[in-house]
Amino acid sequence: MAETSQQHAIDTMFLEERTYPPPEDFAAGANAQAGIYDIPFEQFWEQEGRERITWFEPFTDLYEWEPPYAKWYLGGKLNVCFNCVDRHVEAGDGGVVAYHWEGEPEGDARAITYADLQQDVVRFANALKKLGVQKGTPVGIYMGMVPELPVAMLACTRLGAPHTVVFGGFSADSLSGRMNDMKCEVLITQDEAWRRGSKVGLKKIADEAMADAPGVQSCVVLRRTGSDTPMQEGRDHWWHDLVGDVSDDPQSCPCEPMDSEDLLFLMYTSGTTAKPKGIIHTTAGYLVGTSTTHNYIFDLKQDEDVYWCAADIGWITGHSYIVYGPLCNRTTSVLYEGTPDFPDKDRWWSIVEKYKVTILYTAPTAIRSHMKWGPEYAQQHDLSSLRLLGSVGEPINPEAWIWYREHIGSDRTPIVDTWWQTETGMVLITPLPGVTTLKPGSATQPFPGVVPAVYDEQGNEVGPGGGGYLVLKRPWPAMLRGIFGDDQRYRDTYWSKYEDIYLAGDGARIDQDGDYWLLGRIDDVMNVSGHRISTIEVESALVDHQEVAEAAVCSRADSVTGEAIVAYVTLKGGGEGSIEKLEELRNHVSQKIGPIAKPANIVFTPELPKTRSGKIMRRLLRDVANDRKLGDTTTLADPTVVDEIAKRASDEKAQEAEA
Ligand code: PRX
């Protein structure tokens, strides 16, 4: 086999030997103290479950593990909205700010207290009830980063209605596919969203999606920009009209008691087939898992910290660490609507200064963008309030880690590099600030009670220094409860390689100190800007174009987005590609999946490299895309094909360089 990206990653990371022990003052006051690792697993989760959550009826059993399905906090009754909102108001903390919302247009800002949040949620839940939403009604949500997005999610949980939030950058096809899979009856959206100074017509996309999702009977539309928006009589309702005449008294809409294992939400994510998987998260384990990790990993001090997770709520990071975990812990958070570079590249840093943000959680791709723009944007602002930084979504290269610490954290703040997935629901491998000695590029240690390992092909544990497959050996509270409607795919994807052991789909290595180094995906899933996109999803979108005969997709390394998508396309009738065709295909993918899935490069080629049995050899395409020496080509049906592709790819690069 050719030098793989895994080996390459190991080589570079071996060179990284800098370490950062926790600052003494941080350690002294940290929520997590070293002894936390000694608490027995069951005792730990039992205690967190009892103390962190308010139960309508206490749970009777901690967990049940019948592989590959786990249940947690059995017999308990609770409500997520009650835990995230009502109980804080009842405790006298209604005046505490839940979200400092910062709109993208400057000056557009709102402070939303827990009391405000309760009123808004109660009103909106009452509005949803008018549309027939009740316990068990599946609801789709397609919105930007407006305060009404968490309000909509919380209103659903208040009623016991499971939701699926679809990221506002997804296309109509992606939205309808998800709503059809979940059988959504109601869709909540907004007229338009702000994005880098322009308006994105979410309702227009939602209209297209609803045309393909006949199960959606009602659509609620929030007015955000005020542009003219066609409304379909009988189906579409303005948010402000619906809430106009309903009560905001919590008694008028009590929180529905839910079973610990009732469905809370589905989050769709890319796998190795074209169809996204609906990852199932249930009520109690998810809430305990996210709030517990949020407390210890971010060292949250309720009355002192201003916490900002700069992800989008449309992804799992936003669900767990903007909405449910932080609100359960009565956090004061920042919620920002726009992009980091609007109106200028210092926008984030002006927000940190304005709200005196103390904890910032973002993705390596964002850090690398800031690196590219230069430290001067951060230097224009007072960032001295920051005391802790976090990273998530992809391996963080040591260079970006160091830049983040030096330029954003004044060479003083710990950085928590948190490894987890849509499926895990909560962070599983991470430093605990105040306890863990940090190493740039390493996610360091399993969270208390989490038991990962690195396995070889046969299922033997790989010793220190060796690369292998990251697995999890024991269940954890926020773990997925399956793939919606597809038990077989759940078993095949995560549980078939090793018996009763969860296969994460990532490569990893453990060093001599027992610290984990994540090495990227081992399957046909790409990670672009911290977002998962499957190669096959993009291939299907390309082949869907009438002129495309065949397509193969892989990723190449990119200095900002981590990975970038490269597509190799054969046109029908042996047609030659052109710049126009290239743009047309990129737009086609954008329309089918969303702009995030647009290939960065498309190489037109008369043939794809295939084995004699007809399988496309993606490994070789990856080598070409990454300018690596070609691996073994002896199994190819026609070995000259890759040479031709490599030539075309380098011609394309030369053309690009000229342009
Ligand atoms: O490959 C790993 C990478 O992101 C994948 C999960 O993607 P998703 O479900 O979209 O969730 C992203 C946010 C939790 C993982 O399989 N990943 C996530 N965090 C890290 C990471 N890779 C390395 N280091 C991380 N800290």
DSSP state for residue 577 in the 8-state scheme: P
How far is the C-alpha of 352 from the C-alpha of 336, rounded, in Å?
A: 11
Q: Whose CA is nearest to atom 6 of ligand 1?
A: 421
Query: What pLDDT was estimated at residue 15?
Result: 52
How far is the C-alpha of 187 from the C-alpha of 229, rounded, in Å?
A: 16
| CA–CA–CA angle 533, 596, 277 (5° rounding) | 35
Q: How far is the CA of 506 from the centre of ligand 1 (A)?
A: 9
Give φ, ψ of 221 to 5 degrees: -120, 120
Work out the burial of residue 502: count CB atoms within 10 Å of its CB; fewer than 13 is exposed, 13-18 middle, 19 or more buried: buried
How far is the C-alpha of 464 from the C-alpha of 639, rounded, in Å?
A: 38
Work out the burial of residue 101: count CB atoms within 10 Å of its CB; fewer than 13 is exposed, 13-18 middle, 19 or more buried: buried
Pairing of strands 452-455, 415-418: unpaired
How far is the C-alpha of 358 from the C-alpha of 331, rounded, in Å?
A: 12
Q: Which of 644, 543, 652, 521 is nearest to 593 (CA)?
A: 543
Does the beta carbon of 363 lie inside 6 Å of ligand 1?
no
Q: Which of 646, 587, 480, 624 is nearest to 68 (CA)?
A: 480
| CA–CA–CA angle 370, 373, 376 (5° rounding) | 90
Q: Whose CA is nearest to atom 22 of ligand 1?
A: 394
Q: How far is the CA of 419 from the centre of ligand 1 (A)?
A: 6
Q: Whose CA is nearest to atom 11 of ligand 1?
A: 421
Does the beta carbon of 269 lie inside 6 Å of ligand 1?
yes
Q: How far is the CA of 521 from the centre of ligand 1 (A)?
A: 9
Mutate to test the pocket of ligand 1, among 281, 365, 421, 561 (most ligand atoms within 8 A of CB): 421
Query: What pLDDT was estimated at residue 305?
Result: 98
Ligand 1 atom closest to 532 (CA): 10
- Structural domains in the chain? 545-658 (3.30.300.30)
Ligand 1 atom closest to 505 (CA): 16
Ligand 1 atom closest to 311 (CA): 13
Asked whether 482 and 277 are in contact (CB, 8 A), the reply is no
Q: Whose CA is nearest to atom 15 of ligand 1?
A: 421
How far is the C-alpha of 73 from the C-alpha of 185, rounded, in Å?
A: 30
Dihedral sign for Cα 544, 545, 548, 554, please: negative
Q: Residue 506 has which token pair?
A: 């990532």
Q: How far is the CA of 629 from the centre of ligand 1 (A)?
A: 28
Reported as a single tens digit per residue, the pLDDT across 433-462 is 999 999 999 999 999 999 999 999 999 999
Q: Residue 515 has which token pair?
A: 């610290």
Does the beta carbon of 506 lie inside 6 Å of ligand 1?
yes
How far is the C-alpha of 458 from the C-alpha of 42, rounded, in Å?
A: 30
Q: Whose CA is nearest to atom 13 of ligand 1?
A: 393
Asked whether 361 and 125 are in contact (CB, 8 A), the reply is no
How far is the C-alpha of 194 from the C-alpha of 197, rounded, in Å?
A: 6
Amino acid letter, 276: P
How far is the C-alpha of 256 from the C-alpha of 261, rounded, in Å?
A: 14
Instruction: Kindly list the distances between the CA atom of residue 310 and the CA atoms of 294, 318, 339, 400, in Å, as whole numbers in the listed order.
Output: 15, 8, 10, 17
Rg (CA), the chain: 24
Strands (E), 293-411: 307-309, 333-336, 359-362, 388-392
How far is the C-alpha of 532 from the C-alpha of 596, rounded, in Å?
A: 10
Query: What pLDDT was estimated at residue 293?
Result: 98
How far is the C-alpha of 252 from the C-alpha of 248, rounded, in Å?
A: 7
Find residue 198's DSSP bridge partners. 195
Q: Residue 23 has which token pair?
A: 């600052």
| CA–CA–CA angle 604, 613, 645 (5° rounding) | 20
Q: Give the H or E element holding residue 602.
A: strand 601-604
Helices (H), 160-256: 172-182, 202-211, 239-243
How far is the C-alpha of 80 from the C-alpha of 627, rounded, in Å?
A: 50
Query: What pLDDT was estimated at residue 3?
Result: 35
Give average pLDDT by consecutive 10-residue segment, the chain, 659 residues. 36 65 97 97 98 98 98 98 99 98 96 98 98 98 98 99 97 97 98 96 98 98 97 98 98 98 97 90 98 98 98 98 98 98 97 98 96 97 98 93 97 98 98 97 97 96 91 98 98 97 96 94 89 90 93 93 94 89 96 94 90 81 87 79 86 72
Torsion of CA 151, 153, 154, 158, to 10 degrees: 130
Does the beta carbon of 276 lie inside 6 Å of ligand 1?
no
How far is the C-alpha of 426 from the C-alpha of 431, rounded, in Å?
A: 14
Q: Residue 163 has which token pair?
A: 């939701």
Query: What pLDDT was estimated at residue 9?
Result: 36
Q: How far apart are the first and last CA of the chain?
A: 35
Q: Residue 185 has which token pair?
A: 């009856």
pTM higher than 0.75: yes
How far is the C-alpha of 318 from the C-alpha of 139, rounded, in Å?
A: 18
Mutate to test the pocket of ligand 1, among 166, 313, 415, 518 (most ligand atoms within 8 A of CB): 518
Q: How far is the CA of 89 from the centre of ligand 1 (A)?
A: 35
Q: How far is the CA of 312 from the centre of ligand 1 (A)?
A: 15
Q: Whose CA is nearest to atom 5 of ligand 1?
A: 421
Q: Which of 388, 281, 291, 277 is nearest to 331 (CA)?
A: 291
Q: How far is the CA of 572 from the centre of ligand 1 (A)?
A: 37
Reported as a single tens digit per residue, the pLDDT across 579-602 is 999 999 999 999 999 999 999 999
Q: Whose CA is nearest to atom 26 of ligand 1?
A: 419
Does the beta carbon of 392 lie inside 6 Å of ligand 1?
yes
Q: Residue 221 has which token pair?
A: 């539309």
Query: What pLDDT was estimated at residue 235?
Result: 98
Does the beta carbon of 421 lie inside 6 Å of ligand 1?
yes
Asked whether 323 and 313 are in contact (CB, 8 A), the reply is yes
Give φ, ψ of 526 to 5 degrees: -100, 160
